[in-house]
Amino acid sequence: MTLTRTTCPYCGVGCGVLAGADGTIKGDPNHPANFGRLCSKGAALGETIDLDGRLLHPKVNGQQADWDTALDLVAAKFSASIAEHGPDSVAFYASGQLLTEDYYVANKLMKGFIGAANIDTNSRLCMASSVAGHKRAFGTDTVPGTYEDLEQADLIVFVGSNLAWCHPVLYQRIAAAKEARPTLRIVNIDPRRTATTDLADMHLQIAPDGDIALFNGLLTHLADAHKLDKAYVKTHVNGMEAAIAAARTSDGADSGLTAQELAGFFSLWANTNKVVTIYSQGVNQSACGTDKVNAILNCHLATGRIGRPGMGPFSVTGQPNAMGGREVGGLANMLANHLELDNTDHQRAVQDFWESPTICTQTGLKAVDLFQACADGKIKALWIISTNPAVSMPDADGVAAAIANVPFVVTSDIMEKTDTNDLADVLLPATGWGEKDGTVTNSERRISRQRAFLAAPGSARPDWQIISDVAGRMGFGESFAYQTPADIFAEYVALDAAVSHFPRDLDLSIFADADYATLIPTQWPANDHRFFADGRFYHPDGKAQMIPVQAPVLPKVRFALNTGRNRDQWHTMTRTGKSARLGPHLAEPYVEIHPADASALGASAGSLIAVESIYGCTILRTLITPRVAKGQLFAPMHWTRQQTTHGTVNSLTAPVTDPVSSQPALKSGAVSAAVYQPKWYGFLASNTLPAPQTPYAAIARTQTGWQAELAGGKTPLDWEAEVRNLSGQTQGEVSSHTDPATGTIRMAIAQDGLMTALFFASPRPVVVSRNTIVSLIGTDTPPLAALAGRSGSDQPDAGATVCACFNVGRNTLLAAAAGGAHSLAALGEATCAGTNCGSCKPELTALLAEASLPMAAE
Ligand SMILES: Nc1nc2c(c(=O)[nH]1)N[C@H]1C(S)=C(S)[C@@H](COP(=O)(O)OP(=O)(O)OC[C@H]3O[C@@H](n4cnc5c(=O)[nH]c(N)nc54)[C@H](O)[C@@H]3O)O[C@H]1N2
Ligand SMILES: Nc1nc2c(c(=O)[nH]1)N[C@H]1C(S)=C(S)[C@@H](COP(=O)(O)OP(=O)(O)OC[C@H]3O[C@@H](n4cnc5c(=O)[nH]c(N)nc54)[C@H](O)[C@@H]3O)O[C@H]1N2
Ligand code: SF4
Ligand SMILES: [Mo]
């Protein structure tokens, strides 16, 4: 089997992957991001490349169409709208999951040929505050950090980052560094306890949006304790006095932390030279996100802790090509190649290079405003590429209605059924990971190749080609006559050379003579280049700028809703949701709630909670845990209307944005919560895809088909009809068992002696082993035995999955621990858990602690 050297399509760590057409997936030992490691999502890539659910042919109004018909229609509708209503009447909404080449072409079409800047992307929801904060501080959107800095630091501060789950390989690099050098100190600043907290020496359970109060407090402390690097500041930084004056107006207590916690953190920071501050969505996705970024940058600038090994701020990027998108300028307020949209010299240079008929001169619509313009009827044609805004935007139900309100909607996706595709007039099938070629830039500015190792399925085409085909049909063919992504990359590098006289950080000259086919992972402007090492920044006087920021007044709300990610799912689950191995880690939409709040609401384990805001409502399973603080809830963003009836958490979030970056505040919103009391709770395992309409339903893939967690608002008159309806199984023989004393219903459907569906319902949350029930589907277990809901003593219930790589369940692990496996290594030896990708190690550690067993030193 020949293996192709490519890059993982998930997070911004950008791990190198060796992949084969037979589904072989290995970490690339030569890639400097991961040196052979992969996390659970990367390791399961082989399971997500099947064609199940793929969009294989263009569709127009729900009917299969050929490419010419679809592309002609798209071009005609966009051209007609531009002719009739002007260039601002059309919009693109794209994605940090596009390859650089795709992104470059989409941006070029909109800004140089359509002549508007109405191209925004999901990076607005992700990195906009970091971009804005960097620009205010440095004059450019420069990420100065490298992964090696993390290994060289003496103190790593995580702010609003759950690195253990969201950038697992980077987290493992840090864990390895700490193991080798236990003096490395780690602080985790997060309103909840997460898997990342396990590595931390100090967890600061901050109030939501308490970050500015905290970092302003730190700046004040640095000033008062004479820890500023005044010589550095004098030559390299402006604005320190004003920033300190503003910081003094903050009260550290507004961070929600005790005086002792504050003092401990301040002194650790002040007395450690090599500090790296890693930050992510807990910082960016806030109504004061840009100010949070600058509050952090201020502390690094005031101490000169930037531009040197083992220190500096580090905004880790989420999507595989969040950085590439920023580089090509694919947002409504950027031009191309880190040039300024409102700078007439930059506009002219780009237009000259593109030889384009026009160039945008004004900022376009940013994500929230873009969908508002759709709602207001201002957008007549909308093209959504590689993103699922009907799920991922705040006020997702409002956004879905806004999309439905646009007269002509096109989507490019690899999957057929998504919440956004369901609203589109035209679906264009894109080639996905493994089928397409291009480049991505990871969090440390390293450009790596994604390479195809599979043939394009059906009539799918690469995104760059689809966009160029439409551009051609709109009359711009000559400027979009690319034959390969290498042509586009070469043009992008040539544009960079053509504008090299403008002072910018971006410099792609290292790629000028690169051979695209054999390109090895390379950082711009050069490998091991250290930005700001000479103390020079990109404001006109060459200095950095400290920004005065003020802590927000935090609203008093009954519940603040925090949202984020799970270890084994990627965003709206269109790909990871296909993997039976990834499903069981957390198989349904849930809400974390503090035990005190749960008991105040009258919720117990397994209860459902209706969470409501003025935008919408959800019904979620309670996960009662002191990991969240009182008065706060946490719910994951992943579930959509495809798997759930009321599990889309962005139905609740508000389209409130940061005034500087326009990034939505997705991490805190006011919600109310109450126990949802259904008439019955149910669990269904089936070899067919269930189609439930019940108030609560959550479908997940299993090794034997599907499972559904259910809850009904009405007791069915005819349970058999209900179960046939839920499971979609009209055939087969039904056996059932009803217990009138407890109100429990058990039902099995078998066909030709093989179990096809099993259903359990009860007025209380259903207590059966999901793993066991699922494993009985497709077997010849006699119905009565299956209805007992228990496996034989020779097949003990493994419990909820902890290790996805080897499918090791909680009960198996507890048994191993009880049997003497008292350390991670021993657990690994006994069960294999944690010995492949290692993503579950934080949970294994927690499990060992929970089992109250001493952890042996490893
Ligand atoms: N498994 C997995 N990994 C992913 C992704 C995925 O979908 N699944 N997506 C990728 C993408 S695109 C992104 S952007 C990254 C995101 O990566 P992260 O930003 O690490 O992930 P999140 O879970 O969104 O949020 C991080 C933390 O912010 C905390 N937080 C909330 N409010 C505040 C606050 O006011 N202050 C502070 N200090 N913290 C707060 C939350 O409790 C949460 O633990 O992950 C990437 N990696
Ligand atoms: N409440 C809440 N909401 C959030 C967040 C949060 O923390 N909380 N995080 C936000 C962040 S940081 C992000 S990045 C967004 C992510 O949100 P989205 O971008 O909406 O989520 P994805 O599921 O990654 O959507 C990618 C889509 O592209 C498709 N696709 C995959 N590969 C290709 C390809 O090669 N070509 C094409 N054309 N399509 C492809 C997939 O099938 C999928 O439909 O969510 C944001 N929304
Ligand atoms: S850490 Fe995991 S998801 Fe991120 S790039 Fe590496 S293998 Fe992919
Ligand atoms: Mo993101």
User: If you measure from the C-alpha of residue 318 to the centroid of ligand 4, how many angstroms do you get, rounded to a whole number?
Assistant: 4
Residue 395: CATH number of its domain? 3.40.50.740
Determine contact, residues 50/19, Cβ cutoff 8 Å. Answer: no
Residue with tokens 């600058």: 294
- Name the amino acid, one letter, at 258: T
Q: Which atom of ligand 3 is nearest to the CA of 7?
A: 5
How many domains does the chain fold into? Answer: 6
Residue with tokens 């190649």: 337
User: Residue 538: which of 506, 504, 500 has the closest Cα?
Assistant: 504
Q: Is 38 in the pocket of ligand 3 (CB under 6 A)?
A: yes
Report pLDDT for 797.
67
Q: Which atom of ligand 3 is nearest to the CA of 38?
A: 7
User: If you measure from the C-alpha of residue 114 to the centroid of ligand 2, how many angstroms do you get, rounded to a whole number?
Assistant: 25
Tokens representing 503 are 């002072």
Structural domain including 9 reads 4-47
Q: Is 168 in the pocket of ligand 3 (CB under 6 A)?
A: yes
Q: What are the phi and psi torsion angles at 207 (to 5°)?
A: -70, 150
SS3 percent helix, strand, coil of the chain, rounded to 5, is: 35, 20, 45
Whole-structure pTM value? 0.95
Q: Is 650 in the pocket of ligand 2 (CB under 6 A)?
A: yes
Tell whether the model's pLDDT for residue 795 goes beyond 60: no
Q: How far apart are CA 712 and CA 761, in angstroms?
A: 10
173 domain residue, yes or no: yes
The model's pLDDT over 461-488, given as tens digits with 9 standing for 90+, comes to 999 999 999 999 999 999 999 999 999 9
Give the burial string for 820-832 (b: 16+ CB within 10 Å, else e): ebbbbebbbebbe
Q: Which atom of ligand 1 is nearest to the CA of 209?
A: 35
Q: Which residues fall within 8 angstroms of residue 137, CB to CB, at 6 or more apart?
A: 293, 294, 297, 298, 301, 537, 544, 545, 546, 547
- Write the residue with the smallest CA distance to atom 44 of ligand 1: 162
Domain boundary pick from 476, 500, 523:
523
Q: What are the phi and psi torsion angles at 509 (to 5°)?
A: -60, -25
Q: Is 27 in the pocket of ligand 3 (CB under 6 A)?
A: no
Do both 138 and 176 map to the same domain? yes
Q: What are the phi and psi torsion angles at 405 (to 5°)?
A: -80, -10
Ligand with minimal distance to 318 CA: 1
- Name the amino acid, one letter, at 652: L
Query: What pairing do the DSSP bridges indicate for beta strands 617-624 and 275-279?
Result: unpaired
Q: Is 193 in the pocket of ligand 1 (CB under 6 A)?
A: no
Q: Is 33 in the pocket of ligand 3 (CB under 6 A)?
A: no
Q: Which atom of ligand 3 is nearest to the CA of 39?
A: 2
54 domain residue, yes or no: no
Alpha helices (runs of H) in 44-167, residue ranges in sequence order: 67-85, 100-108, 128-138, 147-152, 163-166
Residue with tokens 């308490």: 210
Ligand with minimal distance to 42 CA: 3
Mean pLDDT taken over the chain: 94
Do both 460 and 576 map to the same domain? no
Tokens representing 581 are 């191995």
Q: Is 618 in the pocket of ligand 2 (CB under 6 A)?
A: no
Tokens representing 671 are 């919600």
Q: Is 578 in the pocket of ligand 2 (CB under 6 A)?
A: no
User: If you measure from the C-alpha of residue 642 to the centroid of ligand 2, how many angstroms do you get, rounded to a whole number?
Assistant: 15
Please, which residues have CB less than 5 A from ligand 4, an ion?
126, 318
Determine contact, residues 367/393, Cβ cutoff 8 Å. Answer: yes
User: If you measure from the C-alpha of residue 122 to the centroid of ligand 2, how many angstroms do you get, rounded to a whole number?
Assistant: 7
Report pLDDT for 848.
82
The whole-number average pLDDT for the span 422-435 is: 98
The residue count of the chain comes to 858
3-state secondary structure 449-471: EECCCCCCCCCCECHHHHHHHHH
Rg, Å, the chain Cα set? 27
Q: What is the biggest distance separating any 2 CA atoms in the chain, rounded to whole angstroms?
A: 83
3-state DSSP call for residue 657?
Answer: strand
Alpha helices (runs of H) in 362-484, residue ranges in sequence order: 367-375, 389-392, 396-404, 463-471
The model's pLDDT over 267-321, given as tens digits with 9 standing for 90+, comes to 999 999 999 999 999 999 999 999 999 999 999 999 999 999 999 999 999 999 9
Q: What are the phi and psi torsion angles at 185 (to 5°)?
A: -100, 145
3-state DSSP call for residue 203?
Answer: strand
396 domain residue, yes or no: yes
User: If you measure from the C-alpha of residue 648 to the centroid of ligand 1, how many angstroms do you get, rounded to a whole number?
Assistant: 17
Query: What pairing do the DSSP bridges indicate for beta strands 90-94 and 119-121?
Result: parallel
Tell whether the model's pLDDT for residue 852 goes beyond 60: no
Residue 297: CATH number of its domain? 3.40.228.10
- Write the residue with the smallest CA distance to atom 14 of ligand 2: 126
Determine contact, residues 629/192, Cβ cutoff 8 Å. Answer: yes
How many Cβ atoms sit within 10 Å of the Cβ of residue 253? 14
Do both 8 and 104 map to the same domain? no
Determine contact, residues 667/208, Cβ cutoff 8 Å. Answer: yes
Q: Which atom of ligand 2 is nearest to the CA of 418?
A: 44
What pairs with residue 277 in β-bridges? 157, 313
Tell whether the model's pLDDT for residue 793 goes beyond 60: no
Report pLDDT for 858.
28
User: If you measure from the C-alpha of residue 126 to the centroid of ligand 4, how many angstroms do you get, rounded to a whole number?
Assistant: 4
- Write the residue with the smallest CA distance to atom 27 of ligand 2: 387
User: If you measure from the C-alpha of residue 844 to the centroid of ligand 3, how many angstroms do you get, rounded to a whole number?
Assistant: 20
Q: Which residue out of 6, 7, 11 has the highest number of ligand 3 atoms within 8 Å of its CB and is therefore the one to mutate?
A: 11
Do both 436 and 501 map to the same domain? yes
Q: Which residue out of 103, 391, 415, 574 has the highest number of ligand 2 atoms within 8 Å of its CB and is therefore the one to mutate?
A: 574
Determine contact, residues 451/101, Cβ cutoff 8 Å. Answer: no
Domain boundary pick from 646, 676, 706:
676
Tokens representing 744 are 């429990």
User: Residue 43: which of 825, 581, 453, 436 has the closest Cα?
Assistant: 581
Residue 634: CATH number of its domain? 2.40.40.20
Confidence band, pLDDT 50/70/90 cuts, at residue 845: confident
- Write the residue with the smallest CA distance to atom 40 of ligand 1: 282
User: If you measure from the C-alpha of residue 410 to the centroid of ligand 3, how many angstroms do you get, rounded to a whole number?
Assistant: 30
Q: Is 306 in the pocket of ligand 3 (CB under 6 A)?
A: no
CA count, 13 A, side-chain hemisphere, 552: 17
Confidence band, pLDDT 50/70/90 cuts, at residue 679: very high
User: If you measure from the C-alpha of residue 95 to the centroid of ligand 2, how many angstroms do you get, rounded to a whole number?
Assistant: 7
How many Cβ atoms sit within 10 Å of the Cβ of residue 323? 27
What pairs with residue 644 in β-bridges? 698
User: If you measure from the C-alpha of residue 105 to the centroid of ligand 1, how many angstroms do you get, rounded to a whole number?
Assistant: 29
Q: Which secondary structure element, helix H or strand E, spans residue 600, and what is its range?
A: helix 595-601
Do both 838 and 718 map to the same domain? no
Long-range pairs for 226-229 at CB < 8 Å and ≥24 separation? 227/270, 227/271, 227/303, 228/302, 228/303, 229/302, 229/303, 229/304, 229/305
The model's pLDDT over 189-240, given as tens digits with 9 standing for 90+, comes to 999 999 999 999 999 999 999 999 999 999 999 999 999 999 999 999 999 9
How many Cβ atoms sit within 10 Å of the Cβ of residue 646? 23
Q: Is 432 in the pocket of ligand 2 (CB under 6 A)?
A: yes
Report pLDDT for 853.
41
529 domain residue, yes or no: no
Do both 347 and 479 map to the same domain? yes
Do both 239 and 174 map to the same domain? yes
Tell me if the bond preceding 552 is cis, omega within 30° of 0: no
Do both 311 and 414 map to the same domain? no
3-state DSSP call for residue 280?
Answer: coil
Q: Is 564 in the pocket of ligand 1 (CB under 6 A)?
A: yes
Determine contact, residues 5/26, Cβ cutoff 8 Å. Answer: no
Report pLDDT for 855.
35
Q: How far apart are CA 677 and CA 674, in angstroms?
A: 9
User: If you measure from the C-alpha of residue 124 to the centroid of ligand 4, how many angstroms do you get, rounded to a whole number?
Assistant: 9
How many Cβ atoms sit within 10 Å of the Cβ of residue 636? 18
- Write the residue with the smallest CA distance to atom 15 of ligand 1: 318
Do both 175 and 193 map to the same domain? yes
- Write the residue with the smallest CA distance to atom 6 of ligand 3: 15
Q: Is 571 in the pocket of ligand 1 (CB under 6 A)?
A: yes
User: Residue 419: which of 613, 632, 209, 651 has the closest Cα?
Assistant: 651
Alpha helices (runs of H) in 318-395, residue ranges in sequence order: 322-327, 344-354, 367-375, 389-392
Report pLDDT for 856.
33
Tokens representing 592 are 């974390």
27 domain residue, yes or no: yes
Confidence band, pLDDT 50/70/90 cuts, at residue 796: low
Report pLDDT for 754.
96
Do both 598 and 638 map to the same domain? yes
Q: Is 37 in the pocket of ligand 3 (CB under 6 A)?
A: no
Alpha helices (runs of H) in 757-798, residue ranges in sequence order: 770-776, 783-787
460 domain residue, yes or no: yes
Do both 277 and 141 map to the same domain? yes
Domain boundary pick from 315, 335, 362:
315
User: Residue 511: which of 442, 464, 447 has the closest Cα?
Assistant: 447
Report pLDDT for 840.
84
Torsion-angle region of 419 (φ positive above 0: left; ψ -120 to 50: alpha; else: beta): alpha
Determine contact, residues 394/650, Cβ cutoff 8 Å. Answer: yes
Do both 227 and 199 map to the same domain? yes
Q: What are the phi and psi torsion angles at 736 (to 5°)?
A: -145, 165
The model's pLDDT over 329-344, given as tens digits with 9 standing for 90+, comes to 999 999 999 999 999 9
Residue 8: CATH number of its domain? 2.20.25.90
User: If you measure from the C-alpha of residue 162 to the centroid of ligand 1, how many angstroms do you get, rounded to a whole number?
Assistant: 5
The model's pLDDT over 446-457, given as tens digits with 9 standing for 90+, comes to 999 999 999 999
Q: Which atom of ligand 1 is nearest to the CA of 12?
A: 46
The pLDDT > 70 percentage for the chain reads 98
User: If you measure from the C-alpha of residue 47 to the centroid of ligand 4, how many angstroms do you get, rounded to a whole number?
Assistant: 23
Q: Which secondary structure element, helix H or strand E, spans residue 279, and what is its range?
A: strand 275-279
- Write the residue with the smallest CA distance to atom 4 of ligand 3: 11
Residue with tokens 């971006």: 506
Tokens representing 425 are 């007039």
Tell whether the model's pLDDT for residue 637 goes beyond 60: yes
805 domain residue, yes or no: yes
546 domain residue, yes or no: no
Q: What are the phi and psi torsion angles at 730 (to 5°)?
A: -85, -25
Ligand with minimal distance to 171 CA: 3
The whole-number average pLDDT for the span 41-61 is: 93
Ligand with minimal distance to 39 CA: 3
